[in-house]
A and B are shown apart, each in its own frame.
Chain A
């Protein structure tokens, strides 16, 4: 009985739109006229669409840079700050802080930081092409996201702290040096959690690039930061091709499922997930 409000919301706000989008993916629909069933026309158009492949490439580049960076940052901070000390207590919320800053504010801050004319990063390091050069922008956006380590940091911290101290003491008495301890003990013991975090971050990274791509670079320069979510948005709400936009969204779903499946198989193979 108590679950009814939640289940109703889930049905009306998630399940129904998802099914509607899946159906619309096989129609031509401008939002004004009634949808017209077109079979697999949209799919064929998608396969032949250079803009789609370019967006997909940009998205994959974003994931390839952002996910390892964010995971490494979360792990690094967790290892650095897991000990109980006043400095750690102070530093933990600071490490988490960029995650709670609203996306728009965060992007506007980076717009200033990366501004090629008066931004401090351009001034200090001479990096003026981070938003104006296609590859500069392709790297800058995932770099920017690397500071929002949020939940990955909290989970890594909790997992690291759950490893008994005596295991490390046994390793120290066994003669293990720090690098050996890290590679043979810490990393394998944290691997199941890190594998799950990586899975989650890939799914997240497919979506969270929408706000920075829209506000910071508007998908440019030269479409370098037109990621799939922005591509869907433009197709749907700038060109009002809602049917085709649903096809792209469906492809994102398939892509997400495929990536998750591949990672899951890898994790099973490496025995990091039971």
Chain B
């Protein structure tokens, strides 16, 4: 079932009015996963909470499976949510945690047992059903939270930065598992994160949020290759896109331009677009991030470690015309 937000606005009034969601319109197609990504304070979690019904919306409409749930209670929206801190019920066992929503809905006991067994098997928790959440690791707690969400077979999953409390290795593993689980269940999912790697690897579509406004919605490839504006271009990609001041590359005086660090190659001095001197070489696994000083600015270049220059080297920098992104005076993409 699809999930649609139309013109959703929300203002908080603590310490004066603050607009946190500004006419947000989004649609997650049936069975797809949309990742909402944005910096801290961009309104991602508030957006998710508005969909869950944990925050009211000031204006706009929230639909789950074509049903208007804007005014519905959280329990009547047919959505399940995984919280950032998992929000497990600490006094209940894993089994009781998973079954809690079914008990609340007065599902017959036999059905509860079957559904709990199915959900716990899906996340690999069969052996820990009688354990207390307090005795589980972060990764296991995360699985309990996931099982609790999927046991109800809701129309949509809402996941609020579910990996943020896990260590790097577990995060990668769990990311893969959530994605594969979502694909096999084909449940419409809205996933919030501030981590662009999660956004780019998990989402069928990605929505970039800034200051309560949707900056761009598209597939990860579209967002990366054709960012709608300078913010999206700089926000997605690590290290961020290099930006050149207007007029520097011979284009219109009001047009800024940018190029991704991995699209720049090193050439002989004088034969590329710029000449510069290597300031710093940062090794990131098998790759290096090379900081090249060109006049007043610094360009970042991402290359394989084997083709990396050394600090102090004089280098030429080159990139193809098709790798150049250009933006107008309002920072919107023009090419």
A and B: partners?
yes
Chain A interface residues toward B at CB < 8 A:
164, 166-167, 169-177, 180, 184-185, 188-189, 191
Q: Which residues of chain A are near B52, meaning CB under 8 Å?
A: 169, 173
14 A–B contacts from the bound complex (CB under 8 Å): A164-B87, A167-B88, A167-B90, A169-B54, A169-B83, A170-B87, A170-B88, A171-B89, A173-B52, A173-B75, A173-B80, A174-B152, A176-B75, A180-B103
Distance, CA A173 to CA B89, complexed state (A): 13
Roughly how many angstroms separate A167 CA and B87 CA in the complex, as a whole number? 5
A189 and B89 CA atoms in complex are apart in Å by: 9
Q: Are A175 and B101 in contact (CB under 8 A)?
A: yes
B13 within 8 A of A: no
Chain A interface mostly: helix
Rounded to whole angstroms, the CA-CA distance of A164 and B88 in the bound complex is 10
Interface positions, chain B 139-190, Cβ under 8 Å from A, are: 148, 152
Instruction: Tell me which residues across on chain B come within 8 A of A177, comparing CB atoms.
Output: 75, 104
Q: How many B residues face the partner with a CB closer than 8 A?
A: 26
CB-defined contacts of B101 to chain A, threshold 8 Å: 173-176
A188 touches B83 (CB 8 A): no
With A166-B83, A176-B75: A171-B91 Cβ-Cβ less than 8 Å? no
Could you say which residues of chain B place their CB within 8 Å of the CB of A171? 89, 100, 104
Q: Are B90 and A172 in contact (CB under 8 A)?
A: no
Q: Are B148 and A174 in contact (CB under 8 A)?
A: yes
A169/B100 contact (C-beta < 8 A), A175-B76, A175-B105 known: no
Q: Bound state CA distance, A170 and B86, in angstroms?
A: 9
- Which residues of the other chain, A, contact B73 by a CB distance below 8 angstroms? 172
Q: CB-defined interface of B53-88 with A at 8 Å, one 1/0 digit per residue? A: 110000000000000000001111101110111011
Since A166-B83, A191-B91 are in contact, a sample of 10 more A-B pairs with Cβ atoms closer than 8 Å, ordered by chain A residue number, is A169-B81, A170-B83, A173-B81, A174-B75, A174-B80, A175-B74, A175-B75, A175-B152, A176-B104, A185-B89
In the complex formed, the residue of A with least CB distance to B101 is A174
When C-beta atoms are compared, the residue in chain B nearest to A176 turns out to be B104
In contact, B83 and A176 (Cβ under 8 angstroms): no
Cβ–Cβ contact A166 & B87, under 8 A: yes
Give the chain B neighbours of A188 by CB distance below 8 A.
Answer: 91
Q: From B53, B88, B91, give the contact of A173 (CB < 8 A).
A: B53
Chain B residues with CB below 8 A from A169, complex form: 52, 54, 74, 81, 83, 87
Q: Evaluate contact between B54 and A175: CB separation under 8 angstroms.
A: no
A164, A170, A180, A185 interface centre (most CB from chain B within 10 Å): A170
In the complex, are the beta carbons of A164 and B85 less than 8 A apart? yes
A174 contacts B100, C-beta separation under 8 Å: yes
Given contacts A172-B73, A174-B75, contact A167 B104 (CB under 8 A): no
Closest to A169 in B: B54
Q: Which residues of chain A come closer than 8 Å to B76, judged between CB atoms?
A: 175
Q: Please give me the residue from chain A that is nearest to B105 by CB atom.
A: A175
Provide the residues of chain B in CB contact with A172, threshold 8 Å: 53-54, 73-75
A176: chain B residues within 8 A (beta carbon): 75, 100-101, 104
Residues A173 and B100 in contact, CB atoms below 8 Å apart: no
Check A180–B85 contact: CB distance below 8 A: no
Q: Which residues from A are CB-within-8-Å of B104?
A: 171, 174-177, 180, 184
